[in-house]
Amino acid sequence: MITKYKMKADELGIPVKTETEATELIVEDGKVVGVKAKNTAGQDLTFKANKGVILATGGFGANIEMREKYNAEYGAEYLTTDAAGTTGDGIVMAEAIGAQLVDMEYIQTYPVCNPETGVISLLADSRFDGAILVNQEGNRFVEELERRDVISRAILAQPGGYAYQVWTQHIGEIGGTLEAHQEEFEMLEKQGLIHKAETIEEAAEFFNVPVDALKATIERVNTFAANGKDEDFNHRAGLVAMTEGPFYIQKAVPSIHHTMGGIVIDVDTHVIDVNGNVIPGLYAAGEVTGGIHGSNRLGGNAIADITVFGRTAGVNAATAQ
Ligand SMILES: Cc1cc2nc3c(=O)[nH]c(=O)nc-3n(C[C@H](O)[C@H](O)[C@H](O)COP(=O)(O)OP(=O)(O)OC[C@H]3O[C@@H](n4cnc5c(N)ncnc54)[C@H](O)[C@@H]3O)c2cc1C
């Protein structure tokens, strides 16, 4: 997406300043007319904006202090799937000039991430094709297609606060996850966080999971798959039999993924102040805003959010009087 947007920006001659951090909104006579910034060369810069400033600085998933400030549950014990720049700067800058914030306590975790880096596991999308989650004792503990928050909390409630995702070559081929995420597989393998095994015994032994327990769990899954009914957790898509290897076992933890709270905007993306009035000259779009996704964003909806409201903000700021 970024490649395409960058091509379009270049075609239109729109300058993009990287390594440049916006630090403050400039307000004159109650209207936002620009931003102050600094670059990595240590220069202080001022950008004047005749028609308006659009805040599109993303959420605050990578800002531990800010997470703790708004919801003590999501402190330093969590890593994050987010880029390092997801620091909530736009929210802080807007709040400093009186913008209204909403839903700041709603923070979303993604359940299956790298326990060392926090990076989201796309290889583990095999969960959507029948992979199961087990704990260190080799037992299932949650329906694998539950909501992100439900699975995350269930994983944290297990011994050690982590889980293993287990699947077969066949499951990894149903949706093409193994082929699509080969690089991630190799990285996890180097980190000792995934193992491809010929047998269930070998998979269990790699992570010291009791062999008999894991075998019993998989046998039970195979029975439920044959009967078409998961009697333990009511897997909504129906479990998939795991009769033939190779087997994959991957260690995973939940990681901070999205912040639903942020700046209040109206349908035209104007930023709203604490008294409910539009702040002239200021627009916001994307994860920096709040109230769009309620308490728990549905996967996929952020791209719709940033595209729709980003375009609205651009059009409105460009055509403002
Ligand atoms: C790993 C991962 C996978 C995801 N997958 C999906 C998916 O499949 N579907 C979906 O809908 N959503 C997905 N999301 C969520 C979605 O990608 C984000 O919500 C969305 O990208 C937010 O876009 P944004 O433009 O608002 O902010 P961002 O994409 O976060 O961009 C904000 C930019 O502003 C910069 N910035 C921050 N502060 C400053 C400052 N002071 N000065 C200058 N620049 C600043 C940041 O460095 C960053 O480059 C995913 C998120 C992650 C992390």
- pLDDT tens digits, one per residue of 84-97: 999 999 999 999 99
Q: In this predicted structure, what is the pLDDT of residue 42?
A: 95
Q: Measuring from each residue's beta carbon to the nearest atom of ligand 1, which residues come in under 6 Å?
A: 21-22, 56-58, 81-82, 85-87, 89, 120, 258, 286-288, 300-303, 306
- For 117-132, the pLDDT digits (tens) are 999 999 999 999 999 9
Q: How far is the CA of 83 from the centre of ligand 1 (A)?
A: 7
Select which of 67, 148, 153, 297 is catalytic. Answer: 148
pTM for the model: 0.94
What band does 149 get if pLDDT is binned at 50, 70 and 90? very high
- For 174-200, the pLDDT digits (tens) are 999 999 999 999 999 999 999 999 999
- For 1-43, the pLDDT digits (tens) are 999 999 999 999 999 999 999 999 999 999 999 999 999 999 9
Q: Are 291 and 103 in contact (CB under 8 A)?
A: yes
Ligand 1 probe mutation, 66, 80, 306, most atoms within 8 A of CB: 306
Reading the block at residue 223, the tokens are 């029975």
Mean pLDDT of the chain: 97
The radius of gyration computed from the CA coordinates of the chain, to the nearest angstrom, equals 23
Q: In this predicted structure, what is the pLDDT of residue 321?
A: 79
- For 269-283, the pLDDT digits (tens) are 999 999 999 999 999
Q: How far is the CA of 287 from the centre of ligand 1 (A)?
A: 7
Considering only CA atoms, which of 309, 203, 314 is closest in space to residue 251? 203
Over residues 126-142, the mean pLDDT reads 98
Q: Are 247 and 214 in contact (CB under 8 A)?
A: no
Strand partners, 248: 167, 196
Q: Work out which ligand 1 atom sits closest to the CA atom of 23.
A: 41
Q: Cis peptide before 280, with omega less than 30 degrees from 0?
A: no
- For 228-264, the pLDDT digits (tens) are 999 999 999 999 999 999 999 999 999 999 999 999 9
Nearest C-alpha to atom 31 of ligand 1 is from which residue? 58
Q: In this predicted structure, what is the pLDDT of residue 174?
A: 97
| 148 part of the active site | yes
Q: How far is the CA of 102 from the centre of ligand 1 (A)?
A: 19
What band does 320 get if pLDDT is binned at 50, 70 and 90? confident
Q: How far is the CA of 211 from the centre of ligand 1 (A)?
A: 41
The CA distances from residue 84 to 10, 35, 59, 202, in Å, are 25, 21, 11, 37
